[in-house]
Amino acid sequence: MISARSLFQEIHDNDDAFRLFCSIAAKGEDQGGWENGRIAALVTDQELAPKIARHGADEDKHGRIFNALLHKRGLQPVGVPDSADYTMLLERQGIGLAHSRLRREDPLTDHDVLVYLAHSRVTEQRASEQMRLLVRVFGTNPEIGRAVRMISADEDNHLAYCHEELLRLSAAGHGPEILDVLRRTARAEIRTYRDVSLAVMAQMGTILRWSRPKSAVLALGIQLTYLYDRLGGWRRMTSLRTPAIHNALGEPAPA
Ligand SMILES: [Fe+2]
Ligand SMILES: [Fe+2]
C-alpha cells in the first residue's frame, strides 16, 4: 500500500532523495523570499510594507532551514531541474509579478499589489496544505519535526495575512478584480502543481528505483488530484474569509 506517509518516509530515508526534496524546497523558499523582499521595497503603502518584509524574512528563513537540514546530514544542495521549479514555472506563465518588473525601481501600482496578494493567497494555500501534511508525517520526528512544525505555523500565518489583506481590498471595492485574478492564478497553479509533482515523482522514482507499476500508480494519483482540483477543488484557493489569526504578520520577524 502506498501512502503519503510511506512515500515521504522513503524519501527521507534516502540521502539522494532527501537532498533533492530539500533542494527543491529551499529554492522555492529563497525565490519567495527574494520576491517579497523586492515587493516590500517597491510598495508605497506604509502599513503593508513591513508585513511584506516580514513575509519575505519568513521565506528566507525557511530556505535556510531546508539547507540546514541538508547540512545536518552532511549533504550539499543539488541543482533543481526547471521542470520541478514551481515558483519559476508560475512566474514564466505570467502569474504573480514578473521578476523583470520587480528588478525595476518604479513603485508598485494598486493593481500590482492586488496581483501580489492574489498570487500569495493561492500559493500560500498550497504551502500551508503541504506543510500540514509534512507535520502529520514528521511532526514528532526528532531530526526534522521542529523545523516542519515551525514552517507550517508560518505558512498558516502567511495564508491568514493574505485573506485579511484581500478582504480589506475587497471592502474597498476591488472584489470583482480580485476574484478574476484569483481564478486565473488558481487555474494556472493547479496545472503547474500537477506538472511539477509528476516531474519530481519521476526523479524520485529513478533515485529510489521504483517499479513501473508503483510509478504508474503515483502518476495516476497526481492526475486524479488534478482532476479533483479542476472540477471544483480550486475554489478552496479563491475563497476569502476572515482568518482565525488576526494581523498575523504585524510584528517584525524575530531575529
Ligand atoms: Fe515558506
Ligand atoms: Fe509562505
70-123 per-position pLDDT tens digit: 999 999 999 999 999 999 999 999 999 999 999 999 999 999 999 999 999 999
Ligand sitting nearest the alpha carbon of 124: 2
Question: At CA 86, angle to CA 23 and CA 170, rounded to 5?
Answer: 130
- The rounded mean pLDDT for the chain is 96
State the DSSP code for 170.
I
Q: Cα(221)–Cα(72) distance, rounded to whole angstroms?
A: 32
Q: What CATH number does residue 145 fall under?
A: 1.20.1260.10
Provide the residue range defining the domain that includes 55: 15-77+85-178
Residue 8 lies in a domain: no
Taking the CB of residue 206, how many other CB atoms lie within 10 A of it?
A: 12
Number of domains comprising the chain = 1
What pTM was computed for the model? 0.96
Residue 251: band (very low, low, confident or very high) from pLDDT cuts 50, 70, 90? confident
- Residue 127 alpha carbon to ligand 2 centre in Å: 6
- Residue 87 alpha carbon to ligand 1 centre in Å: 12
Residue 252 lies in a domain: no
Residue 5 lies in a domain: no
Give residue-wise pLDDT tens across range 186-223: 999 999 999 999 999 999 999 999 999 999 999 999 99
Residue 100 lies in a domain: yes
Residue 202 lies in a domain: no
Residue 44 lies in a domain: yes
Residue 186 lies in a domain: no
Neighbours of ion ligand 2 (CB under 5 A): 124, 127, 155, 158
Give residue-wise pLDDT tens across range 33-61: 999 999 999 999 999 999 999 999 999 99
